[in-house]
Structure 1
Amino acid sequence: MRATGSIQNIMETTLDTIKGSIDANTIIGDPIKTDTTVVVPISKVTIGFGIGGGEYSKGYKEEISKDKNDTNFAGGSAGAVSIQPVAFVVVEDGETRLMSLDNNINMIDNILTITPKVIEKLQKLSQNNKQS
């Protein structure tokens, strides 16, 4: 067995397994509905894996294994998948907000929440100045 084909088979099997376990619903979860509120979980997915292998001769001496097909292959793969919730999108009473488990994102959400109100006030001030 040739090592190149074997490594490729291990890689394909590993990647197919990872692909089968992760999809868009893993990152953006199914909505959770109540009478007045909808909550959508958002997660971060981290994937890591390693693959390796090599050929070794069946014989102990080089003279014995002159045939290129007279080799064995040893290889393996390992991997890990981590799914960590990072935020929830909450729709309640017609308002949408982001509830983050990370304080930095909460600051961004606050800025995004306040921005339309600030723009509205600036527009009103501008209209009042034009009328004056």
Structure 2
Amino acid sequence: MANNPIEGLISTAMENLKTIVDANTIIGEAVKSDDGMTVIPVSKVSFGFGAGGAEFKTGKDEKEEDAKNFGGGAGGGVTISPIAFLVVGQEKVKLIPVGSSSNAADKIAEAIPELLSKFGNMLSSFKDKKKSKETKKGEVKIEEKVVLED
């Protein structure tokens, strides 16, 4: 098993992906500006990898070790997404996020204040309509409109 062809596939794919993903991919190279500020990009790296293979006997001579056919494949992928910039000045360090978060939980958390506001407005509107329709038995409701003209 030490000389299995699938090991060669995995090794080759991993070596190629390793050249793409290194420490400089996540925390990028610092860029200095004329005013003394240093900007460092920060990225999120997602990595996926898969490999598989099978050996088939030729059927002619099952005792012979070299009488096997091998079929296999390996693949991988990398996604690099910028998430922030680290700005280092003479007096302070600031983290500036890039765009909105793509995480579903973060999006829900960001939407909660707006939803609560809309829900509150809807409830107060519903209560106002209900109060205007309520009348006691035998009571006549009279609504007046006053229009002021110049």
Query: Sequence identity, in percent?
Result: 38
Residue 21 (structure 1) shift: 1.7
Q: Which has the higher contact order (CA 8 A, sep 6+)?
A: 1
**SS of residue paired to 1:35:** coil
Which residue of 63, 77, 92 maps to 1:67? Answer: 63
Structure with more of its chain in helix, by fraction = 1
> Does the alignment pair 1:84 with 2:68?
no
Cα deviation, 1:77-115, whole Å, max 9, x if unaligned, reads 1111111111100123421100012566xxxxxxxxxxx
Structure with more of its chain in strand, by fraction = 1
Gaps of 5+ in 2: 107-150
Report the counterpart of residue 52 of structure 2 in structure 1. 52
How many residue pairs align between the two structures?
Answer: 99
Residue 5 (structure 1) shift: 1.2
CA distance in 1, matches of 2:34, 2:63: 73
Provide the TM-score with structure 2 as the length reference.
0.59
Larger Rg: 2
Task: Trace 1:1-132 onto structure 2 (pairs within 5 A).
Answer: 5-36=4-35, 37-59=37-59, 64-69=60-65, 70-101=67-98, 102=100
CA distance in 2, matches of 1:68, 1:76: 24
**SS of residue paired to 2:4:** helix
Provide the TM-score with structure 1 as the length reference.
0.66
* RMSD of equivalent CA atoms: 2.1
CA distance in 2, matches of 1:4, 1:34: 53
Gaps of 5+ in 1: 105-132
CA distance in 2, matches of 1:66, 1:53: 19
Residue 22 (structure 1) shift: 1.4
**SS of residue paired to 1:39:** strand
